[in-house]
Amino acid sequence: MDQPTRTLTLNTETYLSQVEDWDISEEEKEEYIRVLWNLMVSAAQIGLGIHPVQQILSTCGNEKASKNGSNLLQSESSVDSVKQAFGHAARERTAKGDPS
């Protein structure tokens, strides 16, 4: 049986105390926290090999590129693989009637 997918959620209020002395609006503080959060989540995903780009590359048979987070898109063949994978995924979703 597959384990349920776990998702990380951000509550910006948890971290507002870290930026309370900054001379910017509350909205800017929250945006800063969200941007930093997204950067950290992406870095963790790359490190764990679960970043969406790595998953696409591995489905295209490019496991070596997908495991090497620092060189994900350096080669032209990797870019072509990603384009093909996105095109394939889009066609599948369209065929299933999925608008997202």
Tens of pLDDT, residues 31-60: 999 999 999 888 877 777 777 777 777 777
CA distance 64 to 3: 26
Q: How many other C-beta atoms lie within 10 A of the C-beta of residue 69?
A: 17
Q: How many other C-beta atoms lie within 10 A of the C-beta of residue 65?
A: 22
Does 99 score more than 60 pLDDT? no
Q: What letter represents residue 69's amino acid? A: G
Per-residue model confidence (pLDDT) at position 18 = 95
